[in-house]
Structure 1
Amino acid sequence: MTEKTIENVVAKQQPSIDPTLWGKLPESEKDEKSLSHVSLTYWQDVWRRLRGNKGALFGLIIILALILFALVGPLLTNHTYDNQNLSTSNIPPRYDIYKVGEEYLYLHKNMKLYLTKSNGEIIRVLEKDKEDMIKKQLIYTVGNGTAIIDYSTKNTLVLTDENGKVFGEHKNVSNKTNLLGTDHLGRDLLTRIMYGARVSLLVAVVAALVNFLIGMMYGGIAGFFGGKVDNIMMRIVDIISIIPLTLYVILIMVVLNSGLLSIIIALGSVYWVDMARVVRGQMLSLKEEEFVYAAKTIGTKPLKIITTHLLPNAMGAIIVTLTMLIPSAIFMEAFMSFIGLGVTAPMASWGTLCNEALESIRSFSYQLFFPAIAICITMIAFNLIGDGLRDALDPKLRK
């Protein structure tokens, strides 16, 4: 059979293709499902899935807002965390004002009378003209008239004029001078919460650095070498972890006195043990992979294998563990400050604010509510981010 005959046979066997099939697809027939999606890297896909998690995105927004609140907030307020004004102590964030003539007055539970503006801004505390011990009355001169605080009835304060007319509440207003009120020493509560947020963020940064620098390397070395090295290193971890963190802080306080530095050193000393265990477990499973044997074959040093090959592949579990450990570190600092082992006065911390508010919790519960809600929101935000990262970094969920 000649070559020409073969070509004719092959040509007859090939199916004829309609040229119209190669035309441009009309816009009306385009379908997203028929178009190939853009290839994403692993971390781009992680960010895409993290953005799709509303809870994690909400937590991230809260943390960013907390950072701005702590760093920029104190610059926008007219108060400092340690400025005391006993004349304006224990003033709540909202209160009722009375209109006496052309003046507006606020009657405090501590039998103090304040001159205010109609919008709730406190001008000054009024000095009483005299006190009638028999009738149990405090008498004040307000403008051209007289205002009398009657405390003859137990647990009841009544604001009247000299003729016995009772002034009714004019309206309920927000405290424009101190938005979240003041504490028992007249210090602005909002400013102190801002400085408390700085302490919490500092603890979060320290916990993150300690876990990264110590926990990752310690667990990586123990898991990679295994055997006796692993046994010795993990027994050290067991010994450290069985001693309560509170005891570490107390022992450090004996040398350095109480304060934030003692808590930071205590966290730096023992807070990496959980991360070390997680990283060790990841190393034990990853070191049997083929790429590790390939790296050993070409003579790569163990430290480089750990830092270049193993730790990056375990980064998903490390990041999730880190985001879960940060809120527990923040809570630990608040707890230490609450029991008197944290920052010292007059420095503000969320734990110290809660401790100071216990004495007057029944009368001025807002002093405990605001720092407590700040701790709760911060911990919830970090946990939401941790849950979102756990789902986003899981390769089994990648689509």
Structure 2
Amino acid sequence: MDMEKVDTSIQITPELWKPVEKHRDVQEITGESLTHWQDGWRRFKQNRLSLFGILIMIFLILVAIFGPYFSPYNYSDQNIDFKSMPPRLSIRKLNENTYFYLDPTMGLFKITEDGRLLEKTKDVREESLDKKRIYNIDDEEVILDYNTKPYRVLNSKGEEIPVYKKVFNKIHPFGTDDLGRDLCVRIIYGARISLIVGLVSAISNLTVGVLYGAISGYIGGRTDIIMMRIREILGSIPRLLYVIILMLIFGSGVKTVAITIGLTSWLGMSKMVRGQILSLKESEYVLAARTSGASTWRIITRHLIPNTIGIIIVEAAMRIPNSIFTEASLSFVGLGVSAPQASWGTLSNEALPSLMTYPYKLFFPALAISLTVLSFNFVGDGLRDALDPRLRK
């Protein structure tokens, strides 16, 4: 076949060359490349309930740490004169400069117009036959006539003194308990106990639970069987029995509750980690690490656990509120924190006898427990949705 002759008469000049139009980078079209954690944070921020839970947790931590320094009271300070003072007071006006509050037990308190309690009136005389109680405030009489229902409050002229207005309690914003202790400070100290319990639970889950489950799942065989049987035996013992035994050794208090939580909270985490390790230990990167001579400890800590860290964080976050609620329930039945220490569970228990008369005593500790448990659950749900690789978009 004849080869075509090449025309060498064409002169190639620089004007014949044209720059190629620059195309947009593929990376610019598809967007910025994100790591697993960056993508998880991006999706976590889109969950408003999770962000709300984070704000509640930060607020709880700040209040628990710094709150007592802004209060003039301690959790054990008592003032019998101001016992069972509600957070909102219905005050009455005696004259231009004198205001008073009458509580359900017929105690009369001198108070300022803006709701600051001054003193309890002790100049009182009882007229049982007429069913009247007469108080002396600044040389003026206030007559409580409980002969009729509802009772009437009269001045010395026999004129009825109506409720002037309702004001918030300035010196005890959450009210006081039946011993005159400030409920706000006691709830703050209860938050400290809840945070201690949550911290112990997190440490127990992230250390004992993770390592125990990872070793059991990776080694397998007889070791796995023995370790799982030990876990099942420990899990079959009621938590209440742990508390009773530890109370005999250490006595009641925060230490006993914290040790109980630490001994039992890791059992569920170990089972979950074991299942994840069983599914990962035959992966190619584990086989490569084993072939290169890596030790069992190195494979577990440097390869297997880091690849399950997302699920571990979610599980730990979901178990913290369970531990906080456990502490509250133990204190509620009298097996946790004992008086005069303040716990949300003990505060709820102390509020039960006077629930119908003073419902605020149960409302505030119950609200604190609910917000704390919900905030941790919101964060746990948000982490689960954000770190689940099957939900990546």
- How would you bin the TM-score normalised by the shorter chain? over 0.9
- Deviation for aligned residue 1:164: 1.8
**In the alignment, which residue of structure 1 is the partner of 2:273?**
279
Q: Normalising by the residue count of structure 2, what TM-score does the alignment of the two structures yield?
A: 0.93
- 2:76 aligned with 1:82: yes
Q: 2:382 aligns with which of 375, 388, 392?
A: 388
Q: Deviations over 1:98-134 (max 9, x none)?
A: 0001211101111111111111111111112422222
CA distance in 2, matches of 1:153, 1:191: 39
Partner of 2:155: 161
Call closer, same or farther: CA 1:257–1:7 in 2, change over 3 Å: farther
Distance 1:180 1:65 in 2: 18
Are 1:95 and 2:89 matched, yes or no? yes
Partners of 2:70 and 2:82 lie apart in 1 by 21
Distance (whole Å) between structure 2 residues aligned to residue 360 and residue 339 of structure 1 = 17
Check if 1:192 corresponds to 2:186: yes
For the Cα contact (< 8 Å) 1:82–1:346, is it kept in 2?
Answer: yes
1:350-389 residue pairs with structure 2 within 5 A? 350-389=344-383
Distance 1:348 1:109, change over 3 A: same
| Residues in 2 aligned to 1:288 and 1:172: alpha-carbon distance in whole angstroms | 70
Q: What corresponds to 2:130 in structure 1?
A: 135
Q: TM-score, normalised by structure 1?
A: 0.92
SS of equivalent residue, structure 1 residue 317: helix
Structure 2 residue 334 is the aligned partner of structure 1 residue 340: yes
Partners in 2 of 1:138 and 1:262 — Cα distance? 49
Q: Return closer, same or farther for 1:367/1:129 CA change in 2, 3 Å cut-off.
A: closer
1:120-269 equivalent positions in 2, closer than 5 A: 120-153=115-148, 156-269=150-263
Query: What SS is found at the alignment partner of 2:352?
Result: helix
- CA drift of 1:353 comes to 0.2
Residues 1:109 and 2:104 are matched in the alignment: yes
Relative to 1, partners in 2 of residues 1:128 and 1:303: Cα closer, same or farther, differing over 3 Å? same
**What CA RMSD, in Å, does the superposition of the two structures yield over aligned residues?**
2.3
Judge which range, 130-139 or 213-222, deviates more: 130-139
**For 1:212 and 1:279, how far apart are their aligned partners in 2?**
10
User: How far apart, in 1, do the equivalents of 2:312 and 2:22 lie?
Assistant: 51
Counterpart Cα distance in 2 of 1:391 and 1:129: 64
CA deviations 1:216-271 (Å, max 9, x no partner) are 00000000011111111001111111111111101111222211111111112222
Preserved CA contact (<8 Å) 1:287 1:310:
yes
Structure 1 residues 6 and 110, CA, compared in 2 at 3 Å: closer, same or farther?
farther
SS across alignment from 2:305 = helix
Greater shift in the superposed pair: 201-210 or 257-266: 257-266
Q: Give distance in 2, aligned partners of 1:203 and 1:129.
A: 48
2:216 aligned partner, one-letter code:
A
User: Residues 4 and 72 from structure 1, CA distance in 2 versus in 1: closer, same or farther, beyond 3 angstroms?
Assistant: farther
Alignment check: 8 A CA contact 1:204 1:326 kept: yes
1:158 and 1:121 map into 2 onto residues whose CA distance is 24
Task: Tell me what 2:264 maps to.
Answer: 270
1:48 offset after TM fit, Å?
1.3
- Which amino acid in structure 2 is aligned with residue 173 of structure 1? V
Instruction: Tell me the CA shift for residue 18 of structure 1.
Output: 7.4
Q: Which residue does the alignment assign to 2:287?
A: 293
The 8 Å contact of residues 353 and 371 in structure 1, kept in 2 or not, is answered as yes
Structure 2 residues without counterparts, runs of 5 or longer: none
Query: Distance in 2 between the 1:67 and 1:82 partners?
Result: 21
Residues of 2 paired with 1:283 and 1:7: CA distance?
A: 73
Identity %: 45
Superposed CA offset, 1:188-221 (max 9, x none): 0000000000000000000000111100000000
Q: Distance in 2 between matches of 1:340 and 1:5?
A: 105
Q: Structure 1 stretches of 5 or more lacking a match?
A: 26-31
Give the whole-Å Cα distance in 2 for the aligned partners of 1:397 and 1:308. Answer: 26
Q: Quick one: distance in 2 between partners of 1:3 and 1:340? A: 106
Letter of the aligned partner of 1:135 in structure 2? D
Give distance in 2, aligned partners of 1:167 and 1:115: 15
SS across alignment from 2:100 = strand
Aligned length: 385
Deviating runs (4+, > 4 A) in structure 1? 1-8, 16-20
Amino acid of the structure 2 residue aligned with 1:271: S
Match of 1:28 in 2: none
Judged with a 3 Å threshold, the aligned counterparts in structure 2 of structure 1 residues 296 and 122 are, in CA distance, closer, same or farther, namely same
SS at match of 1:159: strand
Cα distance change on mapping 1:147 and 1:7 into 2, 3 Å: farther
